[in-house]
Homo-oligomer: A and B are copies of this chain.
Amino acid sequence: MSKARGAEEVAAVDEVFRALAHESRRQILMVIQFRGGEMTAGQIADRFACAWPTTTRHLKVLEESRLLVVEKRGRVRVYRLAKERLLSVTQGWLAWFAPGADL
């Protein structure tokens, strides 16, 4: 049986793959992963050569694609990696190509 793929899921795949298209955004996800799954905007921005507002915008793209979830804590913003979404959306799409693909 093939899994139903509604417009919502198609949109999710699009948002996620679009977000993953930029090297800096992929690096942001990795940095957060290596640092235990969450980091503040400042900790993230400090690790990149580009200007802080540039990182802010990458963070926004990641947040809009729901690969990151943000939480305000006092004056910092903590970004948490939505690892489950990252894996389920990408692997979900890639499954169409997997050896035992569900055709």
Q: Which residues of A contact B (CB under 8 A)?
A: 10, 13-14, 17-18, 20-21, 23, 26, 29-30, 33-34, 81, 83, 86-87, 90-91, 93-94, 96-98, 101, 103
Contacts and interface: CB of A to CB of B under 8 A. Distances in A.
A79 to B, nearest CB: 15
Contacts of A103: 34
**How many copies altogether?**
2
Contact of A18 (B21, B87, B91, B97): B21
B17 A97 contact: no
Given A86-B94, A90-B90, 16 more contacts: A10-B23, A13-B26, A14-B23, A17-B26, A18-B21, A20-B20, A21-B21, A29-B97, A33-B96, A33-B101, A81-B97, A83-B97, A86-B97, A87-B98, A90-B94, A91-B94
